[in-house]
Amino acid sequence: MNEVRVRFAPSPTGTLHIGGARTALFNWLYARSNQGKFILRLEDTDLGRSTESSAAGIVEGLRWLGLDWDEGPDIQGPYGPYRQSERLAIYQHYIEKLLNEGKAYYCFCSSKELAARREQNLGYDGKCRDLTPAEVNNKLASGLQPVVRFKMPQTGTTTVEDQVRGSVHFENKLFDDSIICKSDGWPTYNLAVVIDDHEMKINHVIRAEEHLPNTPKQLLLYEALGFEVPNFAHVSMILAPDRSKLSKRHGATSVQEFRDNGYLPETMINYLALLGWSSGEDITFFNLTELINRFNLSNVSKSAAVYDTEKLTWMNGHYVAEAETNRLIQLIKPEAIRKGWLTVDNQSYFTNVVELVKNRVKTTNEIFDAVEYFFEDVDSYDTKGMKKHFSKPGAIDLLQSVLEILTTADSFSTSKLEEMLRAKATELNVKAGDLIHPARLALSGRTNTPGIFDVMVILGRKNCIIRTEQAIHFIQEQS
Ligand code: GLU
């Protein structure tokens, strides 16, 4: 069997959104699970809309996800260039060929004429199909800039054999003679994609369902050009939770946004893999290797995948908790330094704090809120917590008991502090929580923190004493 060759062919007109990333991932997995090649091709023939920064962003997003390519614009390869804007001569060769063979023709209809037809919901009427060579030459000589149209067959059916959707039939008579070359000389998507997939020896085209209506037109071009047809697989749409088309209003949709919002690449990979594919097992978490070992097109679903931010965020929490603390620190470092929370002198303190909270956050960005009281003074207390723990009679005495423990503990360790606090609760005939809750509020200003004895040990004896005394003063001032 031929080596599997697949490609991801984004148009650099925006960011790498999750739909595109999912297409890239499925292609990449298909290549890697078949010891094939994954090719990156930039489809930038829309010169007005394509930008360098978009191309760079897409490349950066793919790298961040860990999807590497075997041939592409930056590394080249045997079938380059890998940017359509550098392949004009190749397209022109085939356009000439189609014109010479009478399979395509020049069309001189003005955009005004065409717009008028569109307004009446009429397609192109084939007006220029039968111009004589003399008429064509006259028009060319007068300086008119024609487009080139492909002669679509007007009868019969074209069938797409799709690996996800089965056989999909299209009536040829529904197709206008489509433009394959614009008046500026650049090919349109349908022609460029066919030529490139052929020239780059792509044998499996895995792409979004939205391209399915283009595929019969491409098949007719394959036939006209005498090219071997690749296998097609059209992957279903990704819908928003309300089953509408996923768009900006549903929150972050680009890979870079997720990265900037504190999501990890392994989360994105795992989550995107499950958007439209399932291994058939009762397993939720997959790393790249596990996906490579399992991925195949027969488990790709025909029905739309529904994107669920909550599940994605939950999944990210799992990966953040599992991540090496040092890696998380590297990710949040610039902001932590900017806030003055990470300095040359407090690296181990910082590490301990991140270690303590990492299984309580869903994104790396949430770490900042989760650790704030380790780096900033407590200058206010949770309102509900105050009512519950600071306003009740005896609150000061309870905090005095906590203070006594903090002051007298001979070793400032979690086990020692816990042992002393529990003994104190028994002595006072109160529940351990009656001491723990006000202590937590005093030390953090919050009602919800990691285990209080861990918090105490990391904050350190001196800081704990200062904060507990400060809470006692605060309650005294209130009463
Ligand atoms: N440039 C096209 C897109 O971004 C590629 C479509 C294809 O894979 O054929 O949608």
304-343 burial code (b ≥16 CB/10 A, e <16): ebbbeeeebbebbbbbbeebeeeebbebbeeebeeeebbe
For residue 373, pLDDT over 80 is answered with yes
Residue with tokens 């001189």: 108
List, for residues 454-470, the tens digit of each pLDDT value. Answer: 999 999 999 999 999 99
The pLDDT mean for the chain works out to 96
Q: Across residues 186-198, what is the average pLDDT?
A: 97
pLDDT for 457? 98
CA of 173 to the centre of ligand 1 (A): 25
Closest by alpha carbon to 13, among 53, 61, 41? 53
Q: 173, 248, 302, 462: which is the annotated catalytic residue?
A: 248
In tens, the pLDDT along 138-175 reads 999 999 999 999 999 999 999 999 999 999 999 999 99
Beta carbon of 43 within 6 Å of any ligand 1 atom = yes
Which of 255, 264, 254 is closest to 365 using CA atoms?
264
Determine the pLDDT at residue 245: 85
Note the pLDDT tens digit of each residue in 216-239: 999 999 999 999 999 999 999 999
Residue 77: which region, alpha, beta or left (left: phi > 0; alpha: psi -120 to 50)? left
| pLDDT at residue 123, rounded to an integer | 87
Instruction: Compute the distance from residue 369 Cα to the ligand 1 centre, in Å.
Output: 41
9 lines ligand 1 (CB under 6 A): yes
23 CA closest ligand 1 atom index: 8
Which amino acid, residue 129?
R
- Say which residues have a Cβ less than 8 Å from residue 92's Cβ, sequence separation at least 6: 185
Q: Is the pLDDT of residue 81 over 80?
A: yes
The string of pLDDT tens digits covering residues 349-363 is 999 999 999 999 999
Q: E strands within 278-390?
A: 305-306
Ligand 1 contact via 10 beta carbon (within 6 Å) = yes
Q: Is the pLDDT of residue 1 over 80?
A: no
Q: What is the pLDDT of residue 241?
A: 86
The amino acid occupying position 399 is L
| pTM listed for this prediction | 0.94
CA-proximal residue: ligand 1, atom 5 (nearest) = 9
Give the integer Cα–Cα distance in Å for 470 and 473.
Answer: 5
* Pairing of the two strands 305-306 and 37-40: unpaired
- Examine the residue annotation and report whether 248 is marked as an active-site residue of this protein: yes
